[in-house]
Structure 1
Amino acid sequence: MTDSVETRNFFPALQRNVTATASGSEVVSYSSDLGNGGPILTLIHGYPQSAFIWRHLIPLLQPKISLFIPELPGYGISSPISAGTGEHTKRAVGRALLDTLSQVFGTTSGAAPRKVILGGHDRGARICHRLAVDATHPDQSSIYDELNLTVEGTIMLDILPTKSQWDLFSVPAIGQGYFHWPLLANVELAVPMIQGFGVGNWVRGACLRLAGSAEDSKVRIMSEDAVETYVACFEREGTVKWTCEDYKAGAAKEVEEQKDDLKQGRRVECPALVMFSREKLGQGGKLDVEGVWRGTAGQQKDQWFGDGVEAEVVGVEGGRGHYLPEEAFDVVGEAIIKFLERLKL
């Protein structure tokens, strides 16, 4: 890389924005606007990546819909949240991203409301899940009125609901594969351990350990020096700590939030597209991912979609692993375009 990762323009075809938010985070994002007041698709990355994970999908999606692609606060490029509790919960980070989107697209300047499709992968998909649930429930939805935004759909790549994922750790093979969840949630232990192991070793290992068995999956992940870009982000001061804070928030606090959601009947009420790796998240077909989402799988009886919601749950085949935006960008891109067409926005 010829320039530093925090100032690098990953996507020359898009506008690069730096936005101060009410959360205290200065959020870097990339955007394109078709200029017709039409819908905006967010693409929110996960761990341990940056927005660069979307590089293969952008050329497929940019002609179809306006895009908003943020760098997660605390992940090496956007600064961490400092206002309020300073916790990196999915709700707090999600609201910082909505604040950024509103400023970038000027939605509070008296224009007609902009429609948003919440899309994300991994931790970014969990933010989308949180925001999609909040969007239709009065105790949390006022921010959408304030920012003049309406949520029309959500796209979640390679996740189970957070509560369901923790519940499934009672299955030894699943708990072993997700060892990093409880490790990273213990911030005080995880930070020095990762630093002692070597940040670069940790990030490279994380990127390649969850890759699928397809012959070109690792090639796609490592293309354009992407993994080294992610390493550079994580080697910046504070990134390991703040990304661990993300996992800490995703433990007890967010599990309790989702338990309360289920108790109060708060579910995803907008059309949804869920895509997952059949080989990795689906445990080679042993785990009924669709059944978990729909509340019909074994002991997993939690219903995550509202009654009558159009929700498609698609297992990606062909040896593609966790990093679907890189490994299976062609399949994912086609599915997203078809989903957008079905929404008729």
Structure 2
Amino acid sequence: MKEALPDLYPGFDSVTIDTGDVQLFCRIGGTGPALLLLHGYPQSNEIWHKIAPGLAKHFTLIMPDLPGYGRSSIPALSSDHRAYSKKAMADSMVELMRQLGHTSFYLAGHDRGGRVGYRLALDHPEAIKRLAVLDIMPTSDYWDRLDRTFGLKIYHWMFLAQPAPYPETLIAASATSFLEHTLASWTGLKNLDCFSEGALAHNRSWFGDPARIAATCEDYRAGATIDYEHDKADLDAGNRISVPLLALWGNKGIATSVDDPLAVWRNWCDDVSGKALECGHFLPEEAPEATGEALLSFFGP
């Protein structure tokens, strides 16, 4: 019998919302204005469990698993990768929030969730009040600036984007080892110490599913193709993020590999603020107090 996973959000609700294209599993709790929190790779909603109690005193938190991740449904893979585009994911998040009664909301996204967040801000400016992105810069900037040093740091962008079923077959041969190596190597201390045993248990439980490994690879195939094209189309058209944007990154994280993150984000948005925190890539787990304080200050009580 499979061992029950620990509840990292006591007092929070668990719901699954059908947006029409995908069924999104969510943890929901707190009171106040709606704050949508989106996780990244290779994680699920549990990334927020250290900072959620503090934020829940001021906000209604909605923490879904992205399509294909965690306990959300797995869209079919396709040659154009459209179901895993950040545009499609952003559309699903807007529908999720609408069904929960929130036509406008705050949003914070880490890693892939940050990419869904800035795409949502570009495509649905009426839906978002303020946007925080954690340890990322725009997808097209990453691809356009790849050099030897940066390529070694984000080798997974190229590996996971290879045609199916090559990367998923290799990962599935030792999924837990790949997961834990990836998590540890992106932290500031290069180990798993910042991750609670409960969060690791949740991640291990779903990441080993071959269908979900394939889904997360498809996410990166979309990043290398359709997401890049969407970014370039907005840049060419002069479209900009119209809401205030907070960029946070780890001083030992991934975003520091490319220029000044604030300077990069100012190419996309006029109202940009932010800073580095003392950590690697996983801000909500490596530096939960500083991350929670920064988000609370930006979004306001």
Q: Tell me which residue corresponds to 2:176.
A: 200
Which whole-Å CA distance do the structure 2 matches of 1:9 and 1:16 have between them? 10
Map 1:109-124 onto structure 2 (within 5 A). Answer: 114-124=103-113
Alpha carbons of structure 1 residues 22 and 178: separation in structure 2 relative to 1, 3 Å: same
- Runs ≥4 residues deviating over 6 A: none
Alpha carbons of structure 1 residues 262 and 132: separation in structure 2 relative to 1, 3 Å: same
Equivalent residue for 1:310, pick from 267, 271, 275: 271
Which structure would you say has the larger Rg? Answer: 1
Which whole-Å CA distance do the structure 2 matches of 1:41 and 1:185 have between them? 31
TM-score, normalising length: structure 2: 0.91
**2:135 touches 2:255 (CA, 8 Å); kept in 1?**
no
Equivalent residue for 2:46, pick from 35, 44, 52: 52
Q: Tell me which residue corresponds to 2:263.
A: 291
Counterpart check, 1:179 vs 2:151: no
Greater CA deviation, 63-72 or 182-191? 182-191
% same residue: 31
Which whole-Å CA distance do the structure 1 matches of 2:110 and 2:256 have between them? 18
Q: Tell me which residue corresponds to 2:203.
A: 230
Which whole-Å CA distance do the structure 2 matches of 1:282 and 1:181 have between them? 14
> C-alpha displacement at 1:44, in angstroms?
0.5
Q: Tell me which residue corresponds to 1:161.
A: 138
Q: Secondary structure at the match of 2:193?
A: helix
* Superposition RMSD in Å: 2.2
Q: Secondary structure at the match of 1:331?
A: helix
Q: Tell me which residue corresponds to 1:106.
A: 101
Q: Tell me which residue corresponds to 2:24.
A: 27
Equivalent residue for 2:168, pick from 191, 195, 203: 191
> C-alpha displacement at 1:231, in angstroms?
1.7
Q: Tell me which residue corresponds to 1:277.
A: 250
Which whole-Å CA distance do the structure 1 matches of 2:153 and 2:51 have between them? 27
Aligned residues: 297
Q: Which amino acid aligns with 2:75?
A: I
> C-alpha displacement at 1:94, in angstroms?
1.9
> C-alpha displacement at 1:83, in angstroms?
11
Q: Which amino acid aligns with 1:304?
A: W
Counterpart check, 1:220 vs 2:181: no
Which whole-Å CA distance do the structure 1 matches of 2:155 and 2:101 have between them? 42
Q: Secondary structure at the match of 2:43?
A: coil
Alpha carbons of structure 1 residues 90 and 206: separation in structure 2 relative to 1, 3 Å: same
Map 1:33-48 onto structure 2 (within 5 A). Answer: 34=31, 39-48=33-42
Alpha carbons of structure 1 residues 101 and 282: separation in structure 2 relative to 1, 3 Å: closer
Q: Which amino acid aligns with 2:113?
A: G
Structure 2 unmatched runs, 5+: none
Structure 1 unmatched runs, 5+: 108-113, 137-143, 145-149, 295-302
> C-alpha displacement at 1:190, in angstroms?
0.6
Which whole-Å CA distance do the structure 1 matches of 2:181 and 2:189 have between them? 15
Q: Which amino acid aligns with 1:62?
A: A
Q: Which amino acid aligns with 2:24?
A: V
> C-alpha displacement at 1:264, in angstroms?
0.7
Which whole-Å CA distance do the structure 1 matches of 2:63 and 2:216 have between them? 18
1:105-129 Cα shifts (integer Å, max 9, x gaps): 235xxxxxx4311211000010001
1:131-156 Cα shifts (integer Å, max 9, x gaps): 011123xxxxxxx6xxxxx3111010
Greater CA deviation, 225-234 or 270-279? 225-234
Greater CA deviation, 86-95 or 262-271? 86-95
Which whole-Å CA distance do the structure 2 matches of 1:125 and 1:327 have between them? 17
